[in-house]
Amino acid sequence: KLQKWKISCFRHEGFSPENPKPEYIEHFLPEELVQTELYKSSAHRRDWKSTLKEAADAVSRAVGSGWTVPWTAETILQVMLLWVAAFWFIGSWMIPFAAHMAGFSKESLTFKGQALFSLVTDVTEGLAGIAILHRCLSHFHPLPSDWFKFSLRGKWLFDVALGCLMFPFVNQLSQFNLTLLPLMPSTPVTLSSVEQSILARDPVAMALYAIVVSICAPVWEEIVFRGFLLPSLTRYMPVWSAILVSSVAFALAHFNVQRMLPLIFLGMVMGVVFARSRNLLPSMLLHSLWNGFVFLDLMR
C-alpha cells in the first residue's frame, strides 16, 4: 500500500521522466511567448522603417535630385525680401502715386481703366522681380544649364494633365479652409474690381483681367517661387522639403489666410511638376490653367 501510495502520489505530482516538471512548464511557455512577441514587435518596427524608407526613396526618385546652388542662404533671403518689398512698394505706392500725379485715382476709373491699372501694376511688379533676380545673381553667372529653363521639349504634358486632375481637390480645400477660418462677422464683404467687371459684363475689362491672372501672375510667380526659391533651398534640404517650404512661402505671399491650405497644396503640385521636368514652362502652364479655372468659375 505504501508503495502504491507513493506511485499514486508520484503520478499526481507529475514527476514522470517523460514529462518536465510543472515549474519548468509554467516558466517555459510564457518566456517563449514573450520572445515571440518581442520578435514580432522588432519585425514590425523593421517593416515600418523599411516601408518609410522605401516611400522616401520613391518620392526622391519621382522628384529627382537637388540643384547645384552657387549662392548661400544670405542671397536667398536677400532676393525674397527685396521681391516682397518691391511688390508692396510698386502696388501700394509707386503706381498709385504716378496715377495721382497724372490726375486720377483707381477708384474713379471705369471698369476698363481699373483693369488696365491692374495690368500695368502687375507687369511693373513682374519686371521689378526679374530685375532683382538679375542683379542679385549677376555675380554667379554663368548659371548651370538647369536654372530658369524654358523648353517645349520633354515628357511633361502628362504631369500637367495629372496636376489638372488635382483642381477639384484644391477647390475642396478652399471650402475646408473657409470652414476653419471663416470671415469675421464684422468684415465687410466687398466685390473685387475683377468681380465687378464680370458682373457688368465688360468684355474689354474681362479680357485685360484674364491676361493679368492667366499670363502675368503665373509667369512672375513661377520665376520667383519655383524658378529661384525651390532650387535654392535644395542646397540645405531634400527636394521634397524644398517643395513644401517654397509652397508655404508661395501661399504666404498672397496675404490671405482664408486661402492658405489650397495655395500650399497647389504650390506643392506645381513644385513637383517643376522638379520632375527641371523646366518652368510646365509649372507656368499649370498655374495659368488653375487661375483660368478660377476666373471662369467667377464668370458663372
Q: Which stretches of the chain drop beneath a pLDDT of 50?
A: 1-17, 20-28
Q: Where are the beta strands (DSSP E) in the chain?
A: none
CA distances from 277 to 82, 154, 160, 165 (A): 28, 7, 10, 18
Please give the pLDDT value at position 14. Answer: 46
Separation of alpha carbons 139 and 75, rounded Å: 11
pTM confidence score: 0.77
What stretches of 181-259 show up as alpha helix (H) in DSSP? 193-200, 203-211, 217-221, 230-233, 239-252
Asked if 288 and 160 count as a contact pair (C-beta separation under 8 A), the reply is no
Cβ neighbors of 149 (< 8 A, separation 6 or more) are: 278, 279, 280
Separation of alpha carbons 263 and 221, rounded Å: 12
Sort residue 64 into left (φ over 0), alpha (ψ -120 to 50) or beta.
left
The Cα angle at residue 216 between residues 136 and 197, in degrees rounded to 5: 140
Asked if 125 and 87 count as a contact pair (C-beta separation under 8 A), the reply is yes
The Cα angle at residue 58 between residues 280 and 172, in degrees rounded to 5: 65
Please give the pLDDT value at position 24. Answer: 45
The residue assigned the cell 465688360 is 202
Separation of alpha carbons 246 and 278, rounded Å: 15
Please give the pLDDT value at position 211. Answer: 94
The Cα angle at residue 38 between residues 33 and 44, in degrees rounded to 5: 125
Please give the pLDDT value at position 179. Answer: 87
What count of other Cβ atoms lies within 10 Å of the Cβ of residue 229?
21
Please give the pLDDT value at position 30. Answer: 61
What count of other Cβ atoms lies within 10 Å of the Cβ of residue 276?
19
Please give the pLDDT value at position 8. Answer: 42
Please give the pLDDT value at position 255. Answer: 86
Separation of alpha carbons 170 and 44, rounded Å: 35
